[in-house]
């Protein structure tokens, strides 16, 4: 019997053994309220029409599939195709989700939005939609990230959001998530929590996936239209995993399409300095769901490392945990150095500055294509653009821009 991957999660928000609702009692009611609202809206034709309209006229969808011909020639294997999410308004796939959640918040009559952010991309995407709705937006961001992502902090402020640096724990994304949950517990009546990835308690992993699934739906139709066939393989980077599940979802039931997630191996998985939850973590419970986490033998979450702040997270969406265990998708580690090399390769061969997150996918795509015949197609999700990363790259390479 073949699995229908489109039937997940179940009513309890489970993807096999993963997912669920592991939160403090006070949050159970607002989560139930959100689940009920989302269940109603996701099948409401007028809601879907509103979402599609915004994606087309505000975000600029559909994003094209671009044949990276020169890169493919240099690699010398399969043809590398790029799904250009970097061309969206605000420069990444993150806006697909915040457009959707903003509409849900509006329909629920919420008057205040909170969000967490690591690299700042989801914070910017949240601040963007809040500006458009005229709703106050508070973004929690680890104090360490505030420091290393100064430009995105300023972008959020320009868009009218309040950025609150988080001083607890490791002062990074996971702590920003904790603080956003604490805010939500305290302001459950009027506040909508806009989670930026396919993690968190149900219904977030499902809802965020659904809003990003437009990526894969478009890509599948574009592949058939432009190439008359589906790709041999899909590749996307995985931190929390929203761009990856967005691309993968429409293809999950196409058994002949191979699926690869590129996790951040940082300095190398063997060094312990990485963020590869699926490749090197173990099943546990974090931020409201059961999934693979990076923790020590006492169950304490360990600080992760990646050159890319957007992949620097010790958990991962529960649907990816399920796809890993079921063997439907494969998750491999890409080191900082490999990602940077891919960043430069794409810049020089195609004139595209990819985000450091997406550069992990490009690196994985190159590895994969190298060993495949020239007539095969490998579709890589170019989830975001790299403008935000030029300072990080310059610093790493010993240059100063100012």
Partner 1 sequence: MSRISERFAELQALHRPGLIPFITAGDPLPEATVAIMHALVEAGADLIELGVPFSDPMADGPVIQHANERALAKGVGLGQILDWVREFRRCDTQTPVVLMGYLNPVEIRGVERFAAEAVEAGVDGVLLVDCPVEEIATAQPLRAAGLDQIFLAAPTTDEMRLQQVCAAAQGFLYYVSFAGITGAAHLSTDAVRERVTALRQRARTPLAVGFGVKDAATAATIAEFADAVVIGSALVDTLAGGVDAADAVQRAKAFLAPIRAALDALTAGHAA
For partner 1, give the closer residue by CB, 201 or 384: 201
Q: What is the largest CA-CA distance in the chain?
A: 60
Question: CA-CA distance, 138 to 135, in Å (whole number)?
Answer: 10
For partner 1, give the closer residue by CB, 324 or 360: 324
Determine which one of 83, 94, 174, 367 is catalytic: 94
140: helix, strand or coil: strand
Give, to the nearest 10 degrees, the angle between helix 336-350 and helix 356-370: 80
Please pick, from the candidates 147, 158, 168, 390, the single residue that binds partner 1 as defined by CB under 8 A: 168
Please pick, from the candidates 6, 10, 26, 374, the single residue that binds partner 1 as defined by CB under 8 A: 26
φ/ψ of 261, rounded to 5, equals -110, 135
Determine which one of 357, 359, 383, 388 is catalytic: 383
CA 106 to chain CA centroid, Å, is 23
Determine which one of 63, 72, 116, 218 is catalytic: 116
Residues 278-317 touching partner 1, rule: CB under 8 A, are: 282-288, 293, 295, 297-301
In 64-157 the beta strands, taken as DSSP E runs, fall at 65-67, 79-84, 112-117, 137-142
Give, to the nearest 10 degrees, the angle between helix 121-133 and helix 94-108: 40
For partner 1, give the closer residue by CB, 192 or 260: 192
Whether residue 174 lies in the annotated active site: no
Question: CA-CA distance, 14 to 38, in Å (whole number)?
Answer: 16
φ/ψ of 216, rounded to 5, equals -70, -35
Q: How far is the CB of 13 from partner 1 (least distance, A)?
A: 9
Does residue 372 bind partner 1 (CB under 8 A)?
no
Question: CA-CA distance, 386 to 51, in Å (whole number)?
Answer: 26
Whether residue 338 lies in the annotated active site: no
Q: How far is the CB of 278 from partner 1 (least distance, A)?
A: 17
φ/ψ of 295, rounded to 5, equals -145, 165
Residue 260, judged by CB atoms within 10 A of its CB (0-12, 13-18, 19+), counts as: buried
Q: How far is the CB of 317 from partner 1 (least distance, A)?
A: 17
Residue 261, judged by CB atoms within 10 A of its CB (0-12, 13-18, 19+), counts as: buried
For partner 1, give the closer residue by CB, 140 or 260: 140
Does residue 227 bind partner 1 (CB under 8 A)?
no
For partner 1, give the closer residue by CB, 108 or 151: 108
User: Could you count the other beta carbons within 10 Å of the beta carbon of residue 299?
Assistant: 11
Does residue 108 bind partner 1 (CB under 8 A)?
no
For partner 1, give the closer residue by CB, 4 or 25: 25
Q: How far is the CB of 49 from partner 1 (least distance, A)?
A: 32
Non-local CB neighbours of 402 within 8 Å, separated by 6+ positions: none
User: Could you count the other beta carbons within 10 Å of the beta carbon of residue 326?
Assistant: 13
Please pick, from the candidates 54, 116, 145, 175, the single residue that binds partner 1 as defined by CB under 8 A: 175
Please pick, from the candidates 4, 25, 190, 397, the single residue that binds partner 1 as defined by CB under 8 A: 25
Does residue 190 bind partner 1 (CB under 8 A)?
no
* Distance, first Cα to last Cα, the chain: 60
Does residue 115 bind partner 1 (CB under 8 A)?
no
For partner 1, give the closer residue by CB, 187 or 376: 187
Sole window of 16-24, 41-49, 55-63, 357-365 interacting with partner 1 (rule: CB under 8 A): 16-24
Please pick, from the candidates 3, 186, 226, 271, the single residue that binds partner 1 as defined by CB under 8 A: 186
Helix, strand, coil tally for the chain in percent (to 5): 50, 20, 30
Whether residue 319 lies in the annotated active site: no
Tell me, by CB under 8 A, how many residues bind partner 1: 39
Catalytic residues: 94, 116, 383
Residues lying near partner 1 in the complex (CB under 8 A) are found at 12, 20-30, 32, 168-169, 174-175, 177-178, 181-182, 185-186, 188-189, 282-288, 293, 295, 297-301
């Amino acid at each position: 019997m073949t699995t229908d991957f489109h039937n997940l999660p179940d009513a309890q928000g489970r993807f096999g053994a993963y997912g669920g609702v592991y939160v403090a009692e006070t949050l159970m009611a607002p989560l139930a309220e959100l689940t009920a609202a989302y269940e109603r809206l996701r099948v409401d034709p007028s809601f879907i029409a509103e979402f599609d309209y915004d994606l087309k006229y505000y975000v600029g969808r559909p994003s094209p599939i671009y044949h990276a011909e020169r890169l493919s020639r240099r690699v010398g294997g399969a043809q590398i195709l790029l799904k250009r999410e970097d061309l969206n308004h605000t420069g990444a796939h993150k806006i697909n989700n915040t457009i959707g959640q903003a509409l849900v918040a509006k329909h629920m009559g919420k008057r205040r939005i909170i969000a967490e952010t690591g690299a700042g991309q989801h914070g910017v995407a949240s601040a963007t939609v809040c500006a458009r709705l005229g709703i106050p937006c508070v973004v929690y961001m680890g104090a360490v990230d505030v420091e290393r992502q100064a430009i995105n902090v300023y972008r959020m402020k320009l868009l009218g959001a309040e950025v609150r640096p988080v001083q607890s724990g490791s002062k990074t994304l996971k702590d920003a998530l904790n603080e956003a949950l604490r805010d939500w517990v305290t302001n459950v009546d009027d506040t909508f929590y806009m989670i930026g990835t396919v993690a968190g308690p149900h219904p977030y992993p499902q809802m965020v996936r659904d809003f990003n699934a437009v990526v894969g739906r478009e890509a599948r139709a574009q592949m058939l239209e432009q190439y008359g066939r589906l790709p041999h393989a899909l590749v996307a980077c995985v931190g929390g995993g929203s761009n990856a599940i967005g691309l993968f979802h429409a293809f999950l039931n196409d058994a002949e399409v191979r699926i690869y997630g590129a996790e951040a191996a940082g300095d190398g998985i063997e060094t312990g300095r990485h963020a590869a939850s699926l490749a090197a973590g173990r099943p546990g419970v974090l931020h409201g769901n059961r999934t693979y986490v990076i923790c020590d033998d006492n169950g304490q979450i360990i600080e992760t490392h990646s050159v890319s702040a957007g992949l620097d997270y010790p958990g991962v969406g529960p649907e990816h945990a399920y796809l890993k265990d079921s063997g439907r998708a494969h998750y491999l580690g890409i080191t900082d150095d490999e990602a940077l090399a891919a960043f430069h390769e794409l810049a020089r061969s195609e004139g595209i500055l990819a985000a450091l997150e997406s550069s992990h996918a490009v690196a994985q795509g190159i590895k994969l294509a190298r060993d495949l015949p020239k007539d095969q197609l490998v579709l890589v999700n170019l989830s975001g653009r790299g403008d935000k990363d030029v300072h990080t790259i310059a610093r790493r390479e010993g240059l100063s821009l100012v």
